[in-house]
Amino acid sequence: MRSRVGAGSSSRGGEREDVWERRYGYKRTRMKDVFDGKLGAARHTLEALVARCRALPPEQRALVEEALAFCSAAVVELQEAGEKLRQQNGALLAVQNDLEASRQRYRNLEERARLSEETRVAAEETQAATPLLVGAAPVQDSVGQIINGVTVFQDITDLRKTEQALRANEEKYRALFNSIDEGFCIIEMIFDANGKPVDYRFLEVNSAFEKYTGLREVEGKSIHQLATNHEAHWLETYGKVARTGEATHFVNEAKALGRWYDVYAFGVGAPESRKVAVLFTDITERMQARKVLLDHAEELEQQVEKRTAALQASHARFRAIFEDAAIGIALVNQDAHVITGNPALQRILGYSIEELKGMSLAALTHPDNAGADLKLYNELIAGERPYYQMEGRYVRKDGHPIYVNVTVSLVQWQDVNARFAIVMLEDISARKEAQAALVRSEKLALTGKLAASLAHEINNPLQSVLGFMSLVEELLEENEEKAKEDARTYIRIAIEEVKRAADLVRQMRNINRPSALDERKPVDVNTLVERVLTLSQKKCQEQHVQVTWKAADDVALVSAIPDQIHQVFLNLTLNALDAMPDGGELHISTARTEAPAGVEICFADDGEGIAPDKLGHLFEPFYTTKTTGMGLGLYISQKIIQEHGGRMNVESVAGEGTAFTVWLPMQRGTE
């Protein structure tokens, strides 16, 4: 309960007069009375002078009247100015009076405040003390003298209990504030004149704040004092929370502090307070790990993109090769059935892709080659060989056989438990026909040259036969024993010359004789070599040539015309013996080959050898390094081997010896 004491019963005007007199020590005289008294007397004097000037002569009277009129006007103006000054002075006086009254009221309040204090009063000794709030104020008379006093007592027990509860809550809040592991602070936002957030000041921080920011003694300081390069987005985010009071949760980087934070910010108090509470956690290590992970993921993604692009490019290249290749390409499963094929394969075999799908290789292969092809394919699928090559025949849809070169390679997908094969098919029918035509043309071209040479070669033994027959005829007329013996000698020589002529005719016949496939049959090359060695055994002994024969036990049979292969082996053996007239060593061996499958036969001597400039001409017709012979032996031998699908090579070092190697393909369907 409070009491008020009035300032007095006098009027407000009286108060002002009293204040003026107390302040300045004299009675205030009204300015209007002063001006009215003195200016009124001046006006009366001027009016009297005007009356008196009427008695003057006209010239003087006009001059005096003009002067008096001027003075009268000046008096009027002075009177009006005095009135204005009086009004201004009155207003100033009112302001001074109001100021003085305010000062007095302030002094009264100070006096009352000095008399107020908290007092505890004990109702009884056995009861607890009751907290009271005591207020006292003096009572003054009309002149300001204190004549009495007023004392007010107020029970503030509930107020003290509330304060104690607040202090307890404050202690709990402070304990919680400093015990949480997250950083926490309360900031006050600072806005410019346009309402834009430009800074914020730290009001409170907990003990974890320094741990997560590295900033010390921040209370009362602004963020720009502590981190001059602090990013503007923090100010914008906190400024929005301070203006709207809406809480926000976000993750962002404080580059000025070199850290990442997970932040929850919410308003504190009324929006006018511009206070924001910030709860945050340092997640720098997590973000760095995340960045490493993202960088790694990006790197992997780039590698995947590059790999994908490479695979796409590779697929495009393979598709271009597959679609545009001139040779037939088929993808075949482990059961030797076609999965797909390219346009060239369809063109070569005459089947559409729908017809080819599901067909077996056996159905496409010529019956003569089917067994060998299937055996090789099974070995491929079993992993016994990575690929195989063969030359054979396939059958078109129209039943027409074609010659093909076949290459089959194994393909296995790592993520699929299955084996596949790529079959590449080259149609060589035209090449075969061209080769046959070329051979025929070569034979015809040789006919003229051969005829002239043959006429000369046959004429010589025939002339010898005629001469010897004439001698025999003469000797038979003598009928003597010696003559008969000479006749037998001449007849023997004539027979040899006839044989030589017959041999020439045989060679000529072989040149024009085509190789017939139906004459071929399985042949054991070891048997042919042994037969040749038997025929040449006597000559080897006469020339003192030591023969080393090494036969392989696992050689496969070859499909051949036995007489022709026998002729080739005999020719190579006799050539080797001719190269060693004074004796030497002849090494003959056979061996099995796997890729491609076949038999290799080698004839090596340590004779004179062949000069490098002559090696390239050995297989040409009518070329020979001997003093005798037509130079057709090696030419015919090579043609025989080529017609059997084989090849013949020669290596020689002058003065050291020569080695001829013959390779023949394995008989289809045999080991």
Phi, psi for residue 22 in degrees, rounded to 5: -65, -35
For position 649, what pLDDT does the model report? Answer: 93
Cis omega (within 30 of 0) for bond into 596: yes
Given a cut of 90, whether residue 502 has pLDDT beyond it is no
pLDDT reported for residue 225:
92
**Residue 476 scores a pLDDT above 70:** no
Which of the pair, 417 or 211, is modelled with greater confidence?
211
More confident residue, 236 or 80: 236
Domain C-terminal end among 91, 117, 143:
117
Could you give the CA distance from residue 437 to residue 433 in angstroms, rounded to a whole number? 6
Greater pLDDT, 67 or 612: 612
What does R_g of the chain's alpha carbons equal in angstroms? 69
**Angle 633-643/562-578 helices, nearest 10 degrees?**
140
Distance CA 72, CA 54 (A): 17
Domain boundary at 510, 539, 566, which? 510
Same domain, 77 and 184: no
What pLDDT, on the 0 to 100 scale, is given for residue 25?
42
- pLDDT number for residue 74: 65
> Residue 16 belongs to what H/E stretch?
helix 12-24
Q: Predicted confidence band at 419 (pLDDT cuts at 50, 70, 90)?
A: confident
Sequential DSSP letters for 504-559: HHHHHHHHHPPPPGGG-EEE-HHHHHHHHHHHTHHHHHHTTEEEEEE--TTPPPEE
Q: pTM for the full model?
A: 0.34
How many percent of the chain have pLDDT more than 70?
63
Lowest-confidence pick of 206-215, 230-239, 585-594: 206-215
Distance CA 171, CA 178 (A): 11
Q: What is the mean pLDDT of the chain?
A: 76
Alpha-carbon span 492 to 469, nearest angstrom: 11
In a shared domain, residues 47 and 80: yes
The residue with greater pLDDT, 631 or 414, is: 631
- DSSP lists the bridge partners of residue 261 as 252, 282
Q: Does a structural domain hold residue 4?
A: no
More confident residue, 616 or 169: 616
Q: Any idea which of 167-171, 266-270, 401-405, 436-440 has the lowest mean pLDDT?
A: 167-171
Res 587: pLDDT: 94
Q: How far is CA 347 from CA 323, 342, 352, 370, 426, in A?
A: 12, 9, 8, 21, 11
* 8 A C-beta contact, residue 356 and residue 330: yes
Q: Which residue has the higher pLDDT, 20 or 196?
A: 196
Report the amino acid identity of residue 205.
V
Among the listed residues 414, 407, 332, 459, the one whose alpha carbon sits nearest the alpha carbon of residue 596: 407
- Supply 329's token pair: 């390409």
- pLDDT of 415 > 60? The answer is no
Answer whether residue 93 is part of any domain: yes
pLDDT value for 532: 84
Write out the residue range of the structural domain in which residue 22 sits. Answer: 12-117
The number of beta carbons lying within 10 Å of the beta carbon of residue 42 is: 15
Q: How far apart are CA 631 and CA 511, in angstroms?
A: 13
367 and 264, same domain (yes or no): no
d(CA 93, CA 88): 9
Burial track 333-369 (b if 16+ CB lie within 10 A, e otherwise):
ebebebeebbebbbebbebeeeebeebebeebbbeeb
* pLDDT above 50 (res 20): no
Q: Look up the CATH number of the domain holding residue 585.
A: 3.30.565.10
**pLDDT value at 35 more than 50:** no
Return the pLDDT at 6. 38
pLDDT at 52 over 60: yes
Highest-confidence range of 14-18, 222-226, 364-368, 610-614, by mean pLDDT?
222-226
Which residue in 241, 242, 258 sits closest to 250, CA to CA? 241
Do 657 and 530 belong to one domain? yes
Give the closest residue to 469 by CA, choosing from 448, 492, 489, 491: 491
In a domain? residue 136: no
Between residues 479 and 590, the one the model is more confident about = 590
Same domain, yes or no: 530 and 632: yes
Q: Is residue 661 part of a domain?
A: yes
Helix or strand or coil: residue 408? strand
Report whether pLDDT(360) > 80: yes
Residue-level pLDDT at 472: 66
Q: Are residues 454 and 404 in the same domain?
A: no
Report yes or no: 187 and 201 within 8 Å, Cβ to Cβ.
yes
- How many Å apart are CA 595 and CA 389, to the nearest integer? 7
Number of domains in the chain: 5
Whether pLDDT at 23 is above 70: no
Question: How do residues 220-261 score in pLDDT, each as one tens digit?
Answer: 999 999 988 889 999 999 999 999 989 999 999 998 888 999
**What six digits make up the tokens of 548?**
């080393």
With bands split at pLDDT 50, 70 and 90, how would you rate the model's confidence at 434? confident
User: What is the β-pairing status of strands 545-550 and 584-594?
Assistant: parallel
The reply to whether 210 and 275 lie within a common domain is yes
**At residue 487, does pLDDT exceed 80?**
no
User: Does a structural domain hold residue 97?
Assistant: yes
In the structure encoding, which two tokens stand for residue 572, read together? Answer: 């190579």
pLDDT of residue 618: 82
408 plus 466 within the same structural domain: no
DSSP annotation string for 96-122:
HHHHHHHHHHHHHHHHHHHH-EEEEE-
The whole-number pLDDT of residue 100 equals 58
pLDDT bracket for residue 34 (50, 70, 90): very low
The answer to whether 577 and 543 are in contact (CB under 8 A) is yes
pLDDT band at 4, cuts 50/70/90?
very low
Helices (H), 180-283: 208-213, 223-226, 232-244
Q: Examine the domain organization and report whether 441 and 418 are in the same domain.
A: no
Considering only CA atoms, which of 424, 347, 435, 431 is closest in space to residue 390? 424
pLDDT at 314 over 60: yes
Say what the pLDDT of residue 556 is.
Answer: 80
Separation CA 308–CA 348 (nearest Å)? 34
Q: Are residues 198 and 172 in the same domain?
A: yes
Give residue 605's pLDDT band: very low, low, confident or very high (50, 70, 90).
Answer: very high
Q: How confident is the model at residue 30 (pLDDT cuts 50, 70, 90)?
A: very low
119 has which bridge partners? 132
Residue 635 pLDDT greater than 80, yes or no: yes
Q: 401 by DSSP, 3-state: which?
A: strand
Average pLDDT over residues 490-508: 66
- 92-118 pLDDT, tens digit each: 455 455 555 555 655 554 555 444 444
Helix, strand or coil, per DSSP, at residue 671: coil
Q: Report the run of H or E that residue 576 belongs to, with start and end.
A: helix 562-578
List beta partners, residue 136: 151
Q: Is residue 597 part of a domain?
A: yes
Q: Residue 342 is part of a domain; what is its CATH number?
A: 3.30.450.20
Q: Closest Cα to residue 495, out of 460, 456, 468?
A: 468
Q: Which residues contact 319 (CB under 8 A, 6 or more apart)?
A: none
Q: Which of 510, 534, 549 is the last residue of a domain?
A: 510
Please report which confidence band the pLDDT of residue 508 belongs to, taking 50, 70 and 90 as the band edges: low
Q: Give the model confidence (pLDDT) of 533-573 as tens digits.
A: 887 887 888 889 999 999 988 888 888 888 788 888 988 99
The confidence score (pLDDT) of residue 351 equals 93
Residue predicted with more confidence, 132 or 284: 284
Kindly state whether residues 190 and 268 are assigned to the same domain. Answer: yes
Q: What are phi and psi of 562, to 5 degrees?
A: -55, -45
Assess whether pLDDT exceeds 50 at residue 9.
no
The three-point CA angle 287-291-296 to 5° equals: 150
Distance CA 617, CA 650 (A): 11
Q: Give the model confidence (pLDDT) of 123-176 as tens digits.
A: 444 455 677 767 676 767 667 777 776 676 767 777 677 666 666 666 655 665
DSSP letter for each residue of 343-393 = HHHHHHH---HHHHTT-BHHHHB-HHHHHHHHHHHHHHHTTS-SEEEEEEE
Flag whether 139 is in a domain.
Answer: no
User: Which residue type sits at 247?
Assistant: A
Please provide the DSSP assignment of 461-515 as one string.
HHHHHHHHHHHHHHHHHHT-HHHHHHHHHHHHHHHHHHHHHHHHHHHHHHHHPPP
Tell which wins on pLDDT, 271 or 648.
648
Give the confidence band of 586 by pLDDT, cuts at 50, 70, 90. Answer: very high
Q: Does some domain include residue 562? A: yes
pLDDT of residue 125: 47
Question: Closest Cα to residue 555, out of 407, 408, 662?
Answer: 662
Phi first, then psi: what are they for 151, rounded to 5°?
-120, 135
Task: Answer for the pair 539, 489: CB distance below 8 angstroms, yes or no.
Answer: no
Q: Kind and range of the H or E element at 136?
A: strand 130-140
CA distance 444 to 257: 99
Together in a domain, 496 and 526: no
What share of the chain in percent tops pLDDT 90? 19
Q: Which amino acid is at 72?
A: S
Averaged pLDDT for residues 393-407: 90
